[in-house]
Amino acid sequence: MVALWSLLSTHTHAASVTKIASTDAFDAFREQNAGFALLVYAPWCGHSRALLPEFDSAAASSSTPFAKVDGTEVEELATRLDIKGYPTLLFIHRGDGPPIEFDGRRDASTISRWVASKAAPSLTELNSSSDALAFAKGKPIASRTAAAPVVEDDERTASYPKLVIPVRSPCLACARLVSNFDMGLLPRLRERHAQLKKHHSRTAFQKSATVGELESIVEAEVERICSWPNTYHNKKVRRGCDRLVEDHSDALVDAISRWAREGKYALHLGDELSAEVRPALCDEELQLCTADELTQLDKSDEEAAIQLKHANETGRSAERPLVSERPSAAKEGVLVRVVARDFHERVIKLAADADYLIYMYFPGRSSVPVAEARRDTHARLRPKYIRLAEFLDAPSSNGSLVVGWMDCVFNAIPYPHGSHVHKDTIALYPARSKSEPRYWKDLRDGDVDLDELISFVYEASANEATQRHVREREEAAGPRGLLEALPHKLLDFEESLAIDERELRPLNASRLREMVEKDEL
């Protein structure tokens, strides 16, 4: 059979963006085009509204088709595409292949370059006249496709240095995975070790470790190990880590548990776990690394440490600026907008002697279904946090407390401050102890009460001035004022999006008590 080869050219496209109104329309559009960019958005989402004009601008300069769909209207399609939050930008190829998700900066030029790389020409083998006829009509061809090689962008967070490491991906994923145990597993093992040693004899301690007292901790950490910074902020390594855990979870648990049973964490509390376990696990047991590769990684990590220190001190990486919004020149009020470029300056340096409460939020990321995305964590918590800031009135605390927030979609949290945070989290960076922040990560999809938020501030702070300030505000409002008047007439989510932090004013705590006493609610 004679093989006919044809170059699959990019589709000529007008500057307009096609609106997809149904799953049938999506299927038809997919059949008509070899590949296209698809934006799944929600009209109520502030970040969707910000991205739409950038998306339109990228479409105007591209020869690749662009389309958009309101995920709240075509929920069936949003579910089919496994949309986790809004907005989501995908590149869709003709056929049944999985969509490719965009994970870069949300500006027109970056989107244009990304779409162009995904729409790069490919060679399609035409094995018959029917194949050629189908190709000419733009229909799917059941043939072998040899895609032109396109190197996927390394979409790591910009505050992490982009090092060229001549180490294979499986080895790199394994080495980074073991390094992550230093952050998550080692502290928990130390804590459990102290508890067991305190309440059991040596024999009982060894027996409890053998029968699984410690293995349960290891199993829990293996399940979440790929979410730590050494893997999470590098898409390629994160995918490699996920595959590694999926394929070798039992071997990982066995190896780390064996290390735990032998008590090495007790004998070498000052050493890195990775220095002991990484060679034995990645090289000898799983055979994913060679000794030379591990040596190269150690050298690269030393270089990375230097660059990360530079990024932390200057607010810039060695290669490019941090992903950051423009810093605000406004004076600090009841609520401060923090961005990546001034995070270190505001939170660590200028507030060295103050507690800094900050809400790091990721609009659109939630565990609730797509159909309920309007009620994701940020949508639920944003109005409450605004009211909390008004109530705490940080400027009246005599410099003991500052309240801020940061949009982590448009700002990369500078290393190492909260570098493992990748979902909505409230943190308190304590006065004179900024290296030991207190985190509240389980925000229950935003289903927390204002009195719980106030209690977190009081309990997380070790600063007597902050505790006294919070206590005075609570006493002025009274118990019923806190429970009934404080949550009264909260903004809805859409209203809260229009709030300018500089215009917020402190609440009169005594007025809350009066509202209850005069039955004004």
Q: 312 to each of 5, 90, 322, 409, how far by Cα in Å?
A: 53, 32, 10, 19
CB-CB contact of 245 with 252 (8 Å): yes
Token pair in block for residue 208: 């409890």
Q: Is the pLDDT of residue 152 over 50?
A: no
Report residue 116's pLDDT band, with 50, 70 and 90 as the boundaries.
confident
Please list the alpha-helical segments (H only) found in 283-432. 291-314, 340-343, 377-392
The domain ranges of the chain are 4-147, 169-297, 336-517
Q: What is the mean pLDDT of residues 239-258?
A: 78
CATH topology match: 4-147 vs 336-517: yes
Q: 387 to each of 207, 270, 298, 482, how far by Cα in Å?
A: 52, 44, 48, 11
Higher pLDDT, 362 or 381: 381
Report residue 213's pLDDT band, with 50, 70 and 90 as the boundaries.
low
Please count the residues of the chain.
Answer: 521
pLDDT at 168: 79
CB-CB contact of 189 with 214 (8 Å): yes
pLDDT at 378: 86
CATH classification (class only), 336-517: alpha beta
Helix, strand, coil abundance in the chain, percent, nearest 5? 50, 10, 35
pLDDT at 169: 75
Q: Is the pLDDT of residue 247 over 90?
A: no
Q: What does the alpha-carbon distance between residue 406 and residue 404 come to, in Å, rounded to a whole number?
A: 7
Longest dimension (CA), the chain: 91
Q: Is the pLDDT of residue 439 over 50?
A: yes
Report residue 130's pLDDT band, with 50, 70 and 90 as the boundaries.
low
Vertex 468, ends 462 and 470: CA angle to 5°?
90
Specify the DSSP class assigned to residue 416: T
pLDDT at 158: 37
pLDDT at 29: 92
Higher pLDDT, 114 or 392: 392
Report residue 19's pLDDT band, with 50, 70 and 90 as the boundaries.
very high
| Residue percentage of the chain with pLDDT more than 70 | 67
Mean pLDDT is lowest, of 76-85, 117-126, 300-309, for 117-126
According to CATH, the superfamily of the domain at 4-147 is: Glutaredoxin (3.40.30.10)
Q: 12 to each of 9, 16, 138, 214, how far by Cα in Å?
A: 9, 12, 13, 60
Q: pLDDT digits over 456-478, tens only?
A: 999 999 999 999 999 999 999 99
- Please name the amino acid found at residue 511: R
Which candidate, 80, 67, 15, places its Cα nearest to that of 40?
67
Which residue shows structure tokens 């890195």? Answer: 272
Q: Is the pLDDT of residue 188 over 70?
A: no
Q: Is the pLDDT of residue 492 over 50?
A: yes
Q: pLDDT digits over 323-350, tens only?
A: 677 777 666 789 999 988 888 889 988 8
369 preceded by a cis bond (ω within 30 of 0):
no
pLDDT at 155: 34
Report residue 317's pLDDT band, with 50, 70 and 90 as the boundaries.
very low
Q: How many Cα atoms sit within 13 Å of 271 on the Cβ side? A: 11
Considering 6-20, 116-130, 146-160, 353-367, the range whose residues carry the highest mean pLDDT is 353-367
Q: What does the alpha-carbon distance between residue 507 and residue 513 come to, in Å, rounded to a whole number?
A: 12
pLDDT at 281: 78
pLDDT at 224: 65
